[in-house]
Amino acid sequence: MSLKGEVCVVTGACGFLGQRLVRLLLDEEDMAEVRLLDKHVQPQLLQNLQESRGDTQLSVFEGDIRDGDFVRRACRGASLVFHIASLIDVIGVVEYSELHAVNVRGTQMLLEACIQENVASFIYTSSLEVAGPNPRGDPIVNGNEDTVYECTLKFAYSQTKKEAEQRTLQAHGEVLQNGGRLATCALRPMYIYGEGCRFLLGHMADGIRNRDVLLRMSAPEARVNPVYVGNVALAHLQAARSLRGPERRSAVGGKFYYISDDTPPVSYSDFNHVVMSPLGFSIQAKPRLPLRLLYLLCFLLELLCAMLRPFKRVVPPVNRQLLTMLNTPFSFSYQRAKRDLGYEPGHTWEESRRGTVRWLASQLPRERERLMCKQ
């Protein structure tokens, strides 16, 4: 099912995934208009997109998704919303109130705007972290959407993403102003990597500081299955196509889907080494401290920060829940997305790896220079 002639809104359009999705829409679909919604749209990005847009109109909406009037203007006349924008925080730097305002209230604002402005389809970019892992570190290997897993989410980020996902799926079937009905679905990608991934840059910078030895924060047996950004963008496109067709719309609407690809399962730390070893990086054989001792130190740090909280807000760089996430086998299959959405990874593992390595190689001189200037 083609998206030809549709008008779509992409929130977080200038982000890591947002940019990739916009380029895919311009390359693959003869859309009437793509609206870039973000707090700020870089002129260089817009110029690059204009050069490859063909007959598709590109429009810019700069503003805050917490602003109801703004999101209504952005959605007016649109038929499809890709909601990618969110605040990401796994160590507690951002206050819960801010995370909730953007991730939950912002999503609710968009859903209300879709109902008021007769937007037929809404696709929410959720996160693997709404599933866990739980504080006990219970593993999941090759799980799916039916996997039962007991989890009390500890991260404020995970909590707000979960609530936003629930609100999105509950809005499926809401009556629009014109009498039609809103169709929604949510995608839960694994850890997303690829060109433009700021987390990979952060790990590379840590490795440079450590004399080109990557830090090990996860045990080799704690395997996860990262997913390439190009494949996540493709899954969004397939979801949009599914929601447009009447038959598949009813089958897909109101559901969530795990999005992975054929990237080999590996621990987070070892994945960093896979994509950075061609650049001359090695990796620690084991963490500098045993994991049990790290957990204890994190507990003591969290206790100290809680005691200081009335006087000064201090956030430790690592906490127990992050250590649990990094050291829990947690992988999921994309077979349900393949069956319902027609999703197939469009980029092989080798292609994804080569593209990521090339991008990291292009960033390495700049990172070395930046870190030298800070010394």
> Is pLDDT above 80 for 346?
yes
Residue 69 tokens read as 């009037």
Instruction: Name the β-bridge partners of 9.
Output: 35, 81
**Residue 52 pLDDT:** 74
Q: For residue 118, is it within any domain?
A: yes
What is the sign, positive or negative, of the torsion defined by CA atoms of 287, 202, 19, 154?
positive
Question: Which has more confidence, 80 or 92?
Answer: 80
* Measured distance CA(24)–CA(82) in Å, rounded: 13
Q: For residue 364, is it within any domain?
A: no
* Residue pair 145/336 in contact by the 8 Å Cβ criterion: yes
Residue of 4, 39, 154, 161 marked catalytic: 161
* Residue pair 364/173 in contact by the 8 Å Cβ criterion: no
Residue 366 tokens read as 């700049």
* Measured distance CA(125)–CA(84) in Å, rounded: 5
Q: How many domains does the chain have?
A: 1
pTM (two decimals): 0.95
Q: For residue 317, is it within any domain?
A: no
- Residue 71 has φ and ψ, to the nearest 5°, of -70, -30
**Residue 375 pLDDT:** 64
Cis status, amide bond into 189, omega within 30 of 0: no
> Is pLDDT above 90 for 50?
no
Residue 132 Rama label (left phi>0; alpha psi -120 to 50; beta): left
Angle at 60 between CA 236 and CA 38, to 5 degrees: 60
> Is pLDDT above 80 for 54?
no
Q: For residue 260, is it within any domain?
A: yes
The residue count of the chain comes to 375
Question: Which has more confidence, 55 or 264?
Answer: 264
Q: What CATH number has the domain bearing residue 251?
A: 3.40.50.720
Q: For residue 271, is it within any domain?
A: no
How many helices (H) and strands (E) the chain has is answered by: 14, 13
Q: Rounded mean pLDDT of the chain?
A: 93
Q: How confident is the model at residue 2 (pLDDT cuts 50, 70, 90)?
A: confident
The model's pLDDT over 192-216, given as tens digits with 9 standing for 90+, comes to: 999 999 999 999 999 999 999 999 9
Residue 328 tokens read as 């829990």
The model's pLDDT over 6-43, given as tens digits with 9 standing for 90+, comes to: 999 999 999 999 999 999 999 888 889 999 999 998 88
* Measured distance CA(285)–CA(169) in Å, rounded: 43
Domain hosting residue 54, numbered range: 7-196+227-265+331-350
The model's pLDDT over 225-255, given as tens digits with 9 standing for 90+, comes to: 999 999 999 999 999 999 987 777 888 999 9
Q: For residue 167, is it within any domain?
A: yes
39 catalytically annotated: no
Q: How confident is the model at residue 154 (pLDDT cuts 50, 70, 90)?
A: confident
Q: For residue 375, is it within any domain?
A: no
Q: For residue 233, is it within any domain?
A: yes
CA nearest neighbour of 56 among 13, 23, 87, 81: 23
**Residue 1 pLDDT:** 67
* Measured distance CA(37)–CA(32) in Å, rounded: 16
Q: Helix, strand or coil for residue 55?
A: coil
